[in-house]
């Protein structure tokens, strides 16, 4: 199995190359803008480190968020185009899945949604669909008492819910995205951004201008 994983859903540009059971190249650069220009050169650098070319890959994976709207779309669009050109499967990996990749037992993953809100998803016996909630008042969640909370403000959230806190990791290592993708089985659906809230920019409320035909 030879795959490359790309992620620009958060303020970074990250790439990992995975061969068989090992991540052989990994680049993770903090980046608040410019991911569209940096992504493919970083991917080619990682492939070169691994001694591979694009045509050597069996599949390509991408982080689909939740995260920054524009950043998520950059990598998803690039991966869908690359997969089509290379005729290999494209796989979407959520930030939730990547953060929970090394966890065992029931796990609740928290991701910063800003403005006092968080994104949540539960795994294992704590299975819970992705959702957005208030950090201070997350509401009633039916979770096993042994559930471990990881991610953004894990200690605070665990205290609120009466659960155990794990690591407060802000973003999963890109290697975790690659390992999740390597374990996925067909059939694969084309990756699409995971949006759990509306866009910050709204469409204008005014009606569009009328185009007059002066012929």
- The tokens describing 117, both together, are 């809100």
- Residue 205, pLDDT > 60, answer no
**How high is the pLDDT of residue 170?**
87
- Give CA–CA dist 175/171, Å, rounded: 11
139 contacts 120 by C-beta, under 8 angstroms: no
**How high is the pLDDT of residue 215?**
47
For 137-177, the pLDDT digits (tens) are 999 899 999 999 999 999 999 999 999 999 999 899 999 99
Domains of the chain: 2-94+172-183 (3.30.420.40), 102-165 (no CATH)
How many other C-beta atoms lie within 10 A of the C-beta of residue 74? 21
How many other C-beta atoms lie within 10 A of the C-beta of residue 129? 7
Residue whose tokens read 């994976």: 61
**How high is the pLDDT of residue 158?**
97
**How high is the pLDDT of residue 197?**
76
**How high is the pLDDT of residue 201?**
45
For 109-137, the pLDDT digits (tens) are 999 999 999 999 999 999 999 999 999 99
pLDDT category, 209, cuts 50, 70, 90? Answer: low
Mean pLDDT of 173-189: 95
For 2-60, the pLDDT digits (tens) are 999 999 999 999 999 999 989 999 999 999 999 999 999 999 999 999 999 999 999 99
Q: What is the pTM of this model?
A: 0.90
């Amino acid at each position: 199995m030879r795959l490359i994983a790309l992620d620009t859903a958060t303020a970074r540009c990250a790439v990992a190359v995975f061969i068989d059971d090992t991540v052989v190249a990994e680049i993770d650069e903090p980046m608040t803008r410019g991911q569209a220009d940096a992504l493919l050169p970083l991917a080619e650098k990682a492939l070169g480190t691994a001694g591979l070319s694009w045509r050597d890959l069996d599949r390509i994976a991408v982080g689909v968020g939740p995260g920054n709207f524009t950043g998520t779309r950059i990598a998803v669009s690039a991966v869908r185009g690359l997969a089509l050109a290379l005729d290999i499967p494209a796989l979407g990996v959520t930030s939730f899945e990547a953060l929970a990749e090394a966890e065992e037992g029931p796990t609740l993953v928290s991701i910063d949604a800003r403005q006092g809100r968080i994104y949540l998803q539960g795994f294992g016996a704590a299975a819970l669909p992705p959702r957005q909630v208030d950090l201070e008042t997350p509401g009633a969640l039916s979770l096993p008492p042994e559930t471990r909370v990881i991610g953004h403000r894990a200690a605070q959230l665990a205290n609120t819910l009466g659960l155990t806190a794990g690591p407060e990791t802000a973003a999963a290592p890109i290697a975790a995205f690659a390992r999740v993708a390597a374990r996925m089985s067909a059939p694969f659906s084309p990756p699409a951004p995971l949006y759990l809230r509306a866009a910050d920019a709204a469409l204008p409320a005014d009606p569009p201008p009328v185009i007059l035909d002066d012929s």
